Structure 1
């Protein structure tokens, strides 16, 4: 038997299908962000080498994922139909079929970004004089 945690934490931290689905979606979204960072940084490192700028590039890329939604949210661009579209997509992702489809789409997008990055990196590496 499990150890009972005080203050109702045991029920709060217990696994349920809904919580596992949320964790799976969040994991797929994090994989997409990580793939985007890697797909930008890898060709830059092949082109320019390991410089201070290429070392800061992952931070800038992750910053764009944080700053862009903040700017769009405060600009009013997302005030109309775009916000409804995002809300609809997230509501669809809460259904079992939507979860599977959204995770497949996120992972496929990650795969495509990494494949494109690999192709660009190989092209840059092939032209490089060692």
Structure 2
């Protein structure tokens, strides 16, 4: 299982880099290649949504993100990319819901809980920060 994750990460890293340097069309082409071989990779679909946001194609991005939300992702890279998507579309409250669902799936995961706390700080939800 660990080897599969390393292979996927190695394939997705150039896509991250393409998006970060502003080469969104290349990132979209690369993610399409990856998704053609492995259509179930959540992080790949999240990267595709992020590339769509950067290209100004918000409706297509929203469709992908909504489908990912329904799957309740809990993998850290996928959560990170979805967080970036929500930040860019100014939907900070959805970050809270994302990490709440992920922490329910993995209740002892301190990384998820700390990210949930930070998400509550972003939206100034002081009550939720205390729980």
- Structure number with bigger Rg: 1
Please indicate the TM-score interval, normalised by the length of the shorter structure. under 0.3
Give the number of the structure whose residues are more often helix, by fraction. 1
TM-score (norm 1): 0.21
TM-score (norm 2): 0.21
Higher relative contact order (CA 8 A, sep 6+): 1
